[in-house]
Each structure stands twice: as C-alpha cells, then as structure tokens.
Amino acid sequence: APIQAPDLRNCHPPDLPDTAPDVNCCPTYRPGTAIVDFRAPPASSPVRVRPAAHLVDKEYLAKYEKAVALMKGLPDDDPRSFAQQWHVHCAYCDGAYDQVGFPDLEIQIHNCWLFFPWHRLYLYFHERILGKLIGDDTFALPFWNWDAPGGMALPAIYASESSPLDQQIDENLKIMYRQMISGAKKKELFLGQPYRQGDQPDPGAGVIENVPHGTVHVWTGDPRQPNLEDMGYFYSAARDPVFFAHHGNIDRLWRVWNGLRRGSTGFTDPDWLDASFLFYDEEARLVRARVRDCLDTAALRYAYQDVGLPWLNAKP
C-alpha cells in the first residue's frame, strides 16, 4: 500500500542529535480542521516561470525579498509563516510522523522514491503562498542553476560574497552527465527505491538525491554549527531560503530527466502514484496531495526558464 498522509494528531518532536536545539516542527493543527483533496489550479491561470537565481534582475529580487519578508512577518502559528514552512520539511524528514497504522515506523520522504514528488509539492505550495502574500499570481521561485558554469557558485542573491570555482567546472559537468544520463537509466536509479506503507524508511536514494543534492546541502551548511545548520542537516535545512532555490533545480532536473526518458514521468506502480502528503495552501487550507497530482508541471502552472544543459555532452 502507498504511504498515507500522516495523522496530524500524532505528530511528535523530531529525532535530533543532542547537539541540535529543542525544536518542535509539528504544524499548527486544530483538531477537526477539514482536509481537502488537491486540485490543480485552473488551466487559465498564468504559468509561473521560475528564473535561474544568478540571472534575475533587481525588480525580481525586490519582489522576492518582499514576499519572504511578509512570510517571515506572519504570526508563527499561521501555517503559511516562514517558521511553519521550514517546519514542514523538518517534520517529514526527522521522524515527527509515524506511518498510519505503524507506530514504530516513521515517515521519511528522503532516500526513497518519494524524494522528487514530495519536494515538488512542497515548493509548489511555498511558491503560491509567497505569490499570494504580494498579490502576484505570476510569482515564481528562483532556482539555483548549479549544473551550469554560471550557476556553480552560491547565487549572489543569497550571499554577498562568492568565490570562483573554475577548476571545478569541468569536473562538475562530468558529474552531471553521469548522474543524469549514464548512471540514471533506470527509474529506481534516478527516482529512488520503492517505499511503501509498512516499509522501513531509507530503502535507498536515487543518484541525484545523493549527488549533487546531498553534497550541495553539506557545502551550503555552516561548518561552525554542530550539525552544519542550516542547510547541512534535515531539520534546519529549509530555514535557509536558498533551500528552495536548490530544490527548484532538483525539481527542474526531474523534468529534464523525464524529457531524456522520452516523457516518462516515473513509476506506474500505484504505491508510488497514490502516496499522499498534507500541506497548507495559500488560503491556509489543509490539502491532501498525492504523487500522481504533481507529475504534470504544465497542469501545476509553472515552468523553468530555459537555460540549456551544458553537461549534455560532458561524457567523461
């Protein structure tokens, strides 16, 4: 059976190392809150085109900063607040939820075939909340284009300093080739191993989830913090806005892979397609979304700026 959306009444504090602060990342939840099933936005709504973070202009940056500032200004218990947004990630990856009917098994959306779809849905809702806060239904999150030479440093909008990494570029392009093409010919290799209701978590990540996803997390974390907070550890990762740009690129590469596999979006197994999660949307409604709801980005009304694929011929 598919992994079912968690029962929010049974959320408990995450399992964290002793060196991490006491955080409770359970979402605001009032018992009795109605859960609505996901519906794609109307086909007539504008397509949000996600820009490469290193290519955005001042006007875009001002909009994005304003949206994040407004999100940070919401009361902490508003499910759309920045605090609650990073908690969503924390809860789904540090054992705050049990699998429904399996109190000894946690829900873990990493290291398995839920990695791409869960993060796609997470960004989808996050983006729409930001857009709603600035009253702009075309607002789109930036993505960190770390698979192209121009994007291989931390995007300037996330840091005032950056260092040239020229000697690394060739090596990086070859890694991208391996992870996207030669090493990703099977669905399991790219998307991750099957993970069903009743399974132990962490059956195995896909190639991209390991590298560059994991390596970029660690590289962006702060080495002075005990657990490389924020980006270098699950619970705190989404506290850093660059998280969403990093995952924008991960999500973009899933689309690219679909294209390289002649349009295949992934598994046809209902245990993948019907796995479900809960998110709060831009109206603070609690939404149950399934993997099958997120496979068509055109239906979700977003796209990515076309920035080319510089690694496409970078055969080692």
Binding site for ligand C2O (CB under 6 A): 89, 93, 110, 119, 213, 217, 237, 247
Reply yes or no on whether 54 is catalytic: no
Residue 48 or 119: which CB sits closer to ligand C2O? 119
Strands (E) in 85-124, as ranges, are: 98-99, 102-106
Q: In whole angstroms, what is the distance from residue 262 CA to residue 265 CA? A: 9
Q: In whole angstroms, what is the distance from residue 12 CA to residue 24 CA? A: 8
Residue 126 or 217: which CB sits closer to ligand C2O? 217
Task: Single out the catalytic residue among 54, 87, 126, 217.
Answer: 217
Reply yes or no on whether 126 is catalytic: no
CA 105 to the chain's CA centroid: 23
Task: Single out the catalytic residue among 143, 190, 247, 279.
Answer: 247
Task: Single out the catalytic residue among 38, 54, 82, 110.
Answer: 110
Q: In whole angstroms, what is the distance from residue 119 CA to residue 254 CA? A: 11
Residue 107 or 314: which CB sits closer to ligand C2O? 107
Minimum CB separation of residue 137 from ligand C2O in Å reads 26
Strands (E) in the chain, as ranges, are: 35-37, 48-50, 98-99, 102-106, 276-280, 286-290, 302-304
Strands (E) in 27-77, as ranges, are: 35-37, 48-50
Task: Single out the catalytic residue among 119, 243, 244, 277.
Answer: 119
Residue 120 or 247: which CB sits closer to ligand C2O? 247
* Residues in CB range of 65: below 8 A, 6 or more apart: none
Minimum CB separation of residue 57 from ligand C2O in Å reads 27
Task: Single out the catalytic residue among 38, 82, 87, 89.
Answer: 89
Residue 209 or 301: which CB sits closer to ligand C2O? 209
Minimum CB separation of residue 36 from ligand C2O in Å reads 24
Contact 175, 165 (CB under 8 A): no
Residue 93 or 96: which CB sits closer to ligand C2O? 93
Contact 195, 201 (CB under 8 A): yes
Minimum CB separation of residue 73 from ligand C2O in Å reads 25
Reply yes or no on whether 89 is catalytic: yes
Minimum CB separation of residue 143 from ligand C2O in Å reads 13
Characterise 266 by phi-psi region: left (phi > 0), alpha (psi -120 to 50), beta (else).
Answer: left
Reply yes or no on whether 247 is catalytic: yes
Sign of dihedral through CA atoms 85, 275, 193, 182? negative
Minimum CB separation of residue 309 from ligand C2O in Å reads 21
Q: Which residues are catalytic?
A: 89, 110, 119, 213, 217, 234, 247
